[in-house]
């Protein structure tokens, strides 16, 4: 990097000519090679959010339960009893497309550090994954290795992976998505922020030593489109060590518990450059940092390499001088390398030294706060962006054949192949594991004596790129509604939301339009439901030679349950119970953009059903209360595959059949298999269900070992055992 010709060096590092001129203007001189490398990272899309920051400011972030909002390593909300839950979702898309095992593993490691960097102990991981169609050997390889990487890191460090989602669509073939979410618990007074303060205080780096792995990762991989030479980018993917991170986690939490740190920041994208500069910016101070004191794996590293290395399992903290010995003693006990590498200064300058000699001297404001922000120029696409998928369902398929094809399709088949590679029980907090319910449920405390309420958390993660590609605004609204509905089905009330916005190249008008409309949908849905956005991540330039990915805003939502013993399940619980449909008055599911339309090989729809957000908020509250009171013995929202798929999943989860009839409406296929927010399949005793009034449509009883479903002239009769066999092998058989 330092030896590149001056005329092109900044372009090779991802800076435009205009940005380079602005840097020269702010410095009053040309930057030296180390300074230019630092600017290239801090002004990259991944670190500066230069195409998305203005959009993100439109999202609602205030709420009565918000303890820590956007701007910190993770957001946090109050969950009562003096506790806060910290949570965040982040992407590791481009690294995973290049090296899926390490890309996914270090994505998990990074999101764990984000959570314990604010002082919370991680208790659970969820993941949201997108790959090309499973017929593709590349997609199968990426899936297999990414799932292995997630399992390796989470299982090794001892944090339960409790939920997630996987989708397969053609537009993700060259650019898979690996989004990881983590949540952790902390007493309110244990939370810590990352702002550096106190001139004279020491800057201490602790954790793993620094190497060349990950150099340029943030600017090269996450701020540019993936091309055909992915293999050449392989050295920029970080290498993770979960056992090192486990020591780092425990060491960090002990340091915080003992009150030894003034601030704490993890080293992620852009390494020391980002962590040091952002700490200084938030605190309104300067820093002197000596790269000659940084413990290295390779002795010949140049200053710019030390500053931009993204080696994993490292933390940076501010320590008062009189507490340094105590900090070093704790780190030594945890066998965690720790070194004082600099100090806080009164000025607003970040100075990088080597052996006491300056190698870089930059205004913190210019590096962090003064990156140019770009206006988007949105315009709807003039032509269809995405080709119709190949048809996989035979023309003239019967309703029974259609349901079996849906159950065995890659997007809807059982995820057991994946989640059995994850430890979902470690930590002894898991109340509802994958497949038991629409959302994961985690204990806040310990199970007490019989009859005593045990508070718990519900957590869900969701998104549907195909739906957003059809209608970016309504598709994003649906993502928020889906998470809220999932929480309602376990009895949890939403407290806060985090998101990961995965889009293509924002400099292209059609991608800018997708982003603008999707963020507007997220904001409107969150305001209507009263759910604040407490943090998140943006991943752009997700596209290859064939075009952009589906626009994919992924939403993670956390809610509270007053009693874990009352947590809902999706499976039918008792023969003789009544199965019913709870739905909004305007609920009108359609086949456009549905899973059935994909199996039929139909082009994407250009619109989705509208949602009356106020009514849906009330409906979710009614379902939530029904679960908490025990009136609803099972609850499952109608999503992909429609009502037919939802009732089949309830049969499979409970091991019971049902005899059901649905009013056919104008289009029985849309009634059975259409999609759109606002419907729940529930079960319970009929006298109690009648309290839901006109929102309730009785479908029939839970009975026997067969699902019999009638909707107008459409009829199907399938044994639960046959449904289970098709559902179970849909993914695993394709993986070999």
Distance CA 75, CA 114 (A): 10
Residue burial 367-385, b: 16+ Cβ < 10 Å; e: rest? bbeebeebebebeeeeeeb
Specify the residue for token string 């500066």: 48
The answer for residues whose C-beta is within 8 angstroms of residue 45's C-beta and 6 or more apart is 51, 222, 223, 506, 538, 540, 541
Residue 339 buriedness (CB in 10 A; 0-12 / 13-18 / 19+): middle
Coil, helix or strand for 695? helix
- Tell me if 199 sits within 8 A of 572, measured CB to CB: no
Smallest CA-to-CA distance from 581 within 665, 524, 500, 517 is with 665
C-beta atoms surrounding 437 within 10 Å: 27
What's CA 10's distance to the chain center, in Å?
32
Beta bridge partners of 204: 317, 340
β-sheet with 314-319: strand ranges across:
263-266, 314-319, 202-207, 338-345, 286-290, 349-354, 357-363
User: d(Cα 682, Cα 626) in Å, to the nearest integer?
Assistant: 10
Q: How many CB atoms lie within 10 A of CB 403?
A: 26
Q: What is the C-alpha to C-alpha distance for residues 368 and 487, in angstroms, rounded to an integer?
A: 37
Tokens 């066999």 label which residue?
A: 725
Cα separation, 345 vs 504, in Å, equals 40
Q: Is 51 a catalytic residue?
A: no
Phi-psi region of 262 (alpha: psi -120 to 50; beta: other; left: phi over 0): alpha
Choose among 197, 187, 222: nearest CA to 98.
222
Question: By C-alpha distance, which of 558, 506, 562, 514 is closest to 536?
Answer: 558
Q: Which two tokens stand for residue 657?
A: 């059949």
Look at the block and give the residue holding tokens 């910190």: 72
Question: Strand pairing of 263-266 and 338-345?
Answer: unpaired
Strand partners, 659: 708
* H helix count then E strand count, the chain: 24, 28
- Residue 538 zone, left/alpha/beta (φ > 0; ψ -120 to 50; rest): beta
Rg (CA), the chain: 26
| Other Cβ atoms closer than 10 A to 709 | 24
d(C-alpha 318, C-alpha 344), whole Å: 8
The active-site residue, picked from 10, 51, 92, 510, is: 92
Q: Is 92 a catalytic residue?
A: yes
Burial call 559-596: b when 16+ CB within 10 Å, e when fewer: bbbeebbbbbbbbbbeeebbbbbbbbeebbbbbbbbbb
Catalytic residue among 10, 46, 510, 620: 46
Helix (H, G, I), strand (E, B) or coil at 611: coil
Terminal C-alpha separation, the chain: 44
Q: Which residue, chain included where needed, has tokens 């006298």? A: 687
The answer to whether the Cα torsion of 211, 150, 218, 93 is positive or negative is: positive
Q: How far apart are CA 130 and CA 465, in angstroms?
A: 9
Residues noted as catalytic: 46, 92
């Amino acid at each position: 990097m330092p030896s590149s010709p001056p005329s092109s060096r900044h372009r090779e590092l991802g800076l435009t000519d205009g940005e380079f001129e602005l840097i020269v203007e702010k410095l009053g001189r040309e930057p030296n090679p180390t300074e230019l490398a630092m600017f290239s990272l801090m002004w990259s899309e991944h670190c500066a959010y230069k195409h998305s920051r203005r959009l993100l400011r439109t999202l609602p972030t205030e709420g009565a339960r918000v303890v820590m909002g956007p701007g910190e390593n993770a957001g946090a909300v109050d969950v009562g009893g003096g506790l806060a839950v910290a949570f965040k979702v982040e992407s590791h898309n481009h690294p995973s497309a290049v090296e899926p095992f390490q890309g996914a593993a270090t994505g998990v490691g990074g999101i764990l550090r984000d959570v314990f960097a604010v002082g919370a102990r991680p208790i659970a991981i969820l993941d949201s994954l997108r790959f090309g169609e499973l017929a593709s050997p590349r997609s199968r390889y990426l899936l297999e290795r990414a799932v292995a990487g997630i399992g390796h890191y989470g299982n090794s460090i001892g944090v339960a992976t409790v939920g997630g989602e996987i989708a397969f669509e053609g537009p993700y073939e060259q650019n898979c998505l690996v989004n990881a979410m983590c949540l952790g618990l902390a007493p309110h007074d244990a939370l810590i922020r990352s702002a550096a303060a106190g001139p004279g205080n020491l800057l201490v780096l602790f954790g793993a030593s620094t190497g060349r792995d990950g150099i340029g990762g943030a600017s090269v991989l996450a701020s540019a489109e993936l091309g055909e030479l992915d293999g050449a980018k392989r050295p920029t993917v970080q290498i993770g060590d979960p056992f090192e991170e486990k020591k780092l986690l425990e060491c960090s939490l002990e340091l915080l518990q003992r009150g030894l740190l003034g601030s704490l920041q993890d080293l992620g994208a852009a390494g020391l450059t980002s962590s040091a500069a952002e700490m200084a910016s938030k605190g309104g101070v300067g820093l002197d940092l000596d790269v000659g004191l940084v413990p290295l794996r390779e002795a010949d590293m140049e200053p710019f390499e030390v500053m931009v290395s993204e080696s994993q399992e490292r933390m940076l903290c501010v320590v008062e001088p009189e507490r340094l010995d105590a900090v070093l003693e704790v780190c030594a006990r945890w066998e965690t390398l720790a070194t004082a590498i600099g100090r806080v200064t009164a000025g607003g300058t970040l100075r990088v030294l080597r052996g006491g000699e300056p190698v870089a001297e930059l205004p913190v404001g210019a590096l962090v706060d003064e990156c140019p922000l770009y206006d988007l120029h949105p315009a709807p696409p003039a032509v269809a962006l995405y080709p119709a998928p190949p048809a996989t369902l035979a023309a003239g398929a019967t309703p029974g054949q259609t349901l079996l094809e849906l159950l065995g399709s890659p997007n809807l088949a059982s995820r057991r192949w994946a989640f059995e590679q994850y430890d979902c029980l470690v930590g002894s907090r898991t109340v509802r594991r994958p497949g038991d319910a629409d959302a994961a449920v985690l204990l806040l405390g310990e199970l007490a004596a019989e009859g005593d309420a045990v508070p718990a958390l519900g957590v869900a993660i969701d998104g549907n790129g195909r739906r957003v590609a059809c209608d970016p605004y309504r598709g994003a609204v649906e993502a928020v509604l889906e998470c809220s509905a999932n929480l309602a089905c376990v009895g949890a009330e939403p407290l806060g939301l985090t998101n990961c916005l995965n889009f293509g190249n924002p400099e292209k008008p059609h991608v800018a339009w997708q982003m603008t409309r999707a963020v507007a949908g997220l904001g409107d849905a969150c305001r209507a439901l009263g759910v604040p956005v407490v943090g998140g991540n943006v991943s752009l330039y997700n596209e290859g030679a064939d075009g952009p990915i589906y626009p994919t805003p992924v939403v993670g939502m956390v809610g509270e349950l007053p009693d874990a013993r009352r947590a809902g399940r999706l499976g039918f619980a008792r023969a003789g119970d009544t199965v019913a449909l709870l739905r909004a008055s305007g609920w009108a599911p359609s086949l456009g953009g549905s899973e059935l339309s994909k199996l039929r090989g139909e082009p994407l729809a250009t619109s989705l059903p509208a949602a009356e957000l106020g009514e849906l908020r009330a409906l979710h509250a009614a379902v939530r209360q029904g679960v908490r009171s025990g009136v609803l013995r099972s609850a499952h929202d109608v999503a992909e595959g429609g009502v037919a798929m939802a009732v089949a999943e309830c049969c499979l989860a409970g091991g019971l059949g049902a005899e059901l009839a649905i009013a056919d409406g104008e289009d029985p296929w849309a009634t059975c298999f259409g999609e759109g927010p606002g419907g729940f399949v529930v079960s319970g005793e009929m006298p109690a269900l009648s309290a839901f009034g006109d929102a309730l449509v009785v479908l029939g009883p839970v009975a026997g070992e067969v699902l019999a479903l009638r909707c107008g002239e459409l009829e199907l009769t399938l044994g639960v055992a046959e449904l289970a066999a098709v559902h179970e092998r849909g993914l695993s058989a394709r993986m070999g």
